[in-house]
Amino acid sequence: MFLVMELCEDGELKEILHRKGCFTENETRHIIQSLASAIAYLHKKDIVHRDLKLENILVKSSETDEENEMKLNIKVTDFGLAVQKAGGSESMFQSTCGTPTYMAPEVISAHDYSQQCDIWSIGVIMYMLLCGDPPFIASSEEKLFELIKKGELHFINPIWQTVSEAAKHVLQLLLRVDPAHRITANELLDNLWITVKLMHLALQFPTRKSQPPVPRNYTVTSYPA
């Protein structure tokens, strides 16, 4: 048997982030729009990915626009922990699985959870694209989980002064502790931060160029299902 797979020449999104340090807001918007579109399609088919992270987003190709900003063609991969819900959208899961940095509070707590755990992971990814680091960092996994369950989102790093309030608001919508109050993938696609023309948004909110990479002191591991 032969498996023919699509070639993603530019590797993992994580690798590109490490090289760049962080993405501009416009670059991040393009990535998040593509990611939300893919997840909205999965959720429509009652599929929950459960392990969205930078390493599981591959870049098929990239190009640079006239403003020297990257436009990435991304692909969501690694469906090893993905499940298709039985019985429609109300079906819930209880098994703890995924990668700690990206895990939603309800998954950590082993409460009933559903597709909204993917939305939390999108929020973590968006936060990391904009500043280069996860929203929650701790010296141990136990402390990390406590921070995630509290869900207190901070924008202390000076780099956030150059990110629009619209983008920060989207992050707050994605990283709500209560999954019932989190926006859905379709609602994210309809959000003004995504839909408004980039030219118009630039007149209202400042944007910035990428910053150099900074050292990171966290590790990422995966949990089996």
pLDDT in tens, 97-137: 778 999 999 999 877 788 999 999 999 999 999 999 999 99
Dihedral angle computed from the Cα positions of residues 15, 98, 49 and 118, in that order, rounded to the nearest 10 degrees: -90
Of 51, 112, 118, 190, the catalytic one is: 51
Expressed as residue numbers, the domain containing 18 is 13-69+101-204
pLDDT confidence of residue 198: 46
pLDDT in tens, 173-205: 999 999 999 999 999 999 999 988 544 545 555
**Range list of H helices, the chain:** 13-20, 25-44, 105-108, 116-131, 141-150, 165-174, 185-190, 192-195, 198-204
Contact 76, 121 (CB under 8 A): no
- Integer Cα distance of 143 and 15 in angstroms: 27
pLDDT confidence of residue 80: 83
pLDDT in tens, 27-86: 999 999 999 999 999 999 999 999 999 999 999 876 777 677 888 889 999 888 888 887
Residue 44 lies in a domain: yes
pLDDT confidence of residue 78: 83
Quote the number of domains for the chain. Answer: 1
Contact 73, 62 (CB under 8 A): yes
The answer to whether 133 is a known catalytic residue is no
Q: Report the pLDDT averaged over residues 164-174.
A: 97
pLDDT over 60 at 89, yes or no: no
pLDDT over 50 at 221, yes or no: no
- Integer Cα distance of 223 and 158 in angstroms: 33
CATH of the domain at 116: 1.10.510.10
pLDDT confidence of residue 30: 93
Residue 215 lies in a domain: no
- Integer Cα distance of 179 and 200 in angstroms: 31
Residue 110 lies in a domain: yes
